[in-house]
Amino acid sequence: MNHAAANAPSLEDDAAPSQMEYMKSLRTGLRVLLCFENSKRDQGVTDIALRTGLAKSQVSKIMSALVDSGLVEQDPATRTYHIGQRSYLLGSRYTTYDTLCQAATPVMRELLNSTGHSIRLSIPHRDQSLYLIGLEGPQFIDTGWHSGNCVPMGGSSAGRILIAFMEPAERERILDIPVPALTAETVTDRAEIAKIVQQGRETGYVVQRNETSIGLGVISVPLFKENQKVIGALGAAFPAHFLSAKEEQDLIRALHASARSISQRLGCAVYPVRALPPASS
């Protein structure tokens, strides 16, 4: 027996460390890219190094590769980085092909045309509610909240109605996450948020005014897929002072009708929310 051959490393042994190193490098690059998930537009090497714990020299090399790929662009004057066109191209594929987006978008357009209010689609994302799609109506007010923004679930009407229809253990876990004061009127007390969530489960909607932005009101209702599992929230945004009590009730009815249509398209045969009684003539 050739002992030298027996003790020589196999091809598999040679490949394993290389593959592991490749995966480590890939994960590190993705960590850097995901720094751009937050709302800050421009970030420098020092910012990213502090957030990731990586050396600035390593961050610089990764950023150079991301710029070459088109996923990130660099401002020649400030030398800071921001999301590139290719990232947008990749991201746009999500709303184009996602089942929920496909089911919701035409119904959202109809709802905007019938109510005149801006219509929003939100989904759960890592213990936050992600504002996924917004269609702006004639009553649009620029509050700084746009598609791609995230907010802790307990701090938004969309997040609260999502929490309302989660499984009990998950609902309690999310309620335990602190909610920051986005405005002076944001409800941050856990017990008060839990009460709002319970009311949302009983009524099928959550109304919020001036809590995420002063001057902004939002009504959100739940969306379900098969087995009545909550998958997202449909919302209507309006100037906080704008709606009378009757107009608010009419808008809730319209939201429920649209949410029922979207949910049925997603395989939810019975929309598990009791509609408001018809408006009296």
CA distance from start to end of the chain? 98
Alpha-carbon radius of gyration of the chain: 24
Let me know if residue 93 belongs to a domain: no
In this prediction, residue 257 carries a pLDDT of 97
28 or 39: which leads in pLDDT: 28
Nearest to 153 by CA among 141, 143, 165: 165
How many domains are there within the chain?
Answer: 2
Mean pLDDT of 221-228: 97
In this prediction, residue 144 carries a pLDDT of 66
Mean pLDDT of 31-52: 87
Instruction: Examine the domain organization and report whether 220 and 106 are in the same domain.
Output: yes
Instruction: Examine the domain organization and report whether 134 and 208 are in the same domain.
Output: yes
Instruction: Examine the domain organization and report whether 255 and 216 are in the same domain.
Output: yes
Among the ranges given (143-147, 236-240, 254-258), the one the predictor scored with the smallest mean pLDDT: 143-147
Record the tokens describing residue 169, joined without a space: 């253990």
What is the extent of the structural domain holding 46? 12-83
In this prediction, residue 1 carries a pLDDT of 46
How far apart, in whole angstroms, are the C-alpha atoms of residue 191 and residue 179? 12
Let me know if residue 2 belongs to a domain: no
Record the tokens describing residue 151, joined without a space: 């907010």
Last residue of a domain, one of 60, 83, 106: 83
pLDDT tier at 255, thresholds 50, 70, 90 = very high
Let me know if residue 209 belongs to a domain: yes
Let me know if residue 65 belongs to a domain: yes
Last residue of a domain, one of 33, 55, 83: 83
Instruction: Examine the domain organization and report whether 112 and 237 are in the same domain.
Output: yes
How far apart, in whole angstroms, are the C-alpha atoms of residue 181 and residue 40? 19
- What is the CATH classification number for the domain harbouring 27? 1.10.10.10
Residue 13 pLDDT more than 60?
Answer: no
In this prediction, residue 148 carries a pLDDT of 80
Instruction: Examine the domain organization and report whether 222 and 250 are in the same domain.
Output: yes
Q: Find all residues with CB under 8 Å of 25, minimum gap 6, and list them.
A: none
Instruction: Examine the domain organization and report whether 26 and 127 are in the same domain.
Output: no
In this prediction, residue 17 carries a pLDDT of 58
Mean pLDDT of 244-264: 95
pLDDT tier at 10, thresholds 50, 70, 90 = very low
- On average, the pLDDT of the chain sits at 89
Instruction: Examine the domain organization and report whether 141 and 226 are in the same domain.
Output: yes
Last residue of a domain, one of 83, 108, 124: 83
Let me know if residue 120 belongs to a domain: yes
Percent of the chain with pLDDT over 90: 71
Let me know if residue 281 belongs to a domain: no
Let me know if residue 275 belongs to a domain: no
**Predicted confidence (pLDDT) per residue in 67-117, tens digit:** 999 999 999 999 999 999 999 888 888 888 899 999 999 999 999 999 999
Nearest to 37 by CA among 72, 79, 70, 62: 72
151 or 256: which leads in pLDDT: 256
Residue 59 pLDDT more than 80?
Answer: yes
Residue 264 pLDDT more than 90?
Answer: yes
Let me know if residue 90 belongs to a domain: no
Instruction: Examine the domain organization and report whether 160 and 62 are in the same domain.
Output: no
Instruction: Examine the domain organization and report whether 102 and 68 are in the same domain.
Output: no
Give the 3-state secondary structure of residue 253.
Answer: helix
Instruction: Examine the domain organization and report whether 206 and 71 are in the same domain.
Output: no
- What is the CATH classification number for the domain harbouring 176? 3.30.450.40
Instruction: Examine the domain organization and report whether 70 and 123 are in the same domain.
Output: no
The model's pTM is 0.82
In this prediction, residue 5 carries a pLDDT of 47
**Predicted confidence (pLDDT) per residue in 175-217, tens digit:** 999 999 999 999 999 999 999 999 999 999 999 999 999 999 9
**Predicted confidence (pLDDT) per residue in 143-171, tens digit:** 666 778 888 999 999 999 999 999 999 99
Instruction: Examine the domain organization and report whether 112 and 198 are in the same domain.
Output: yes
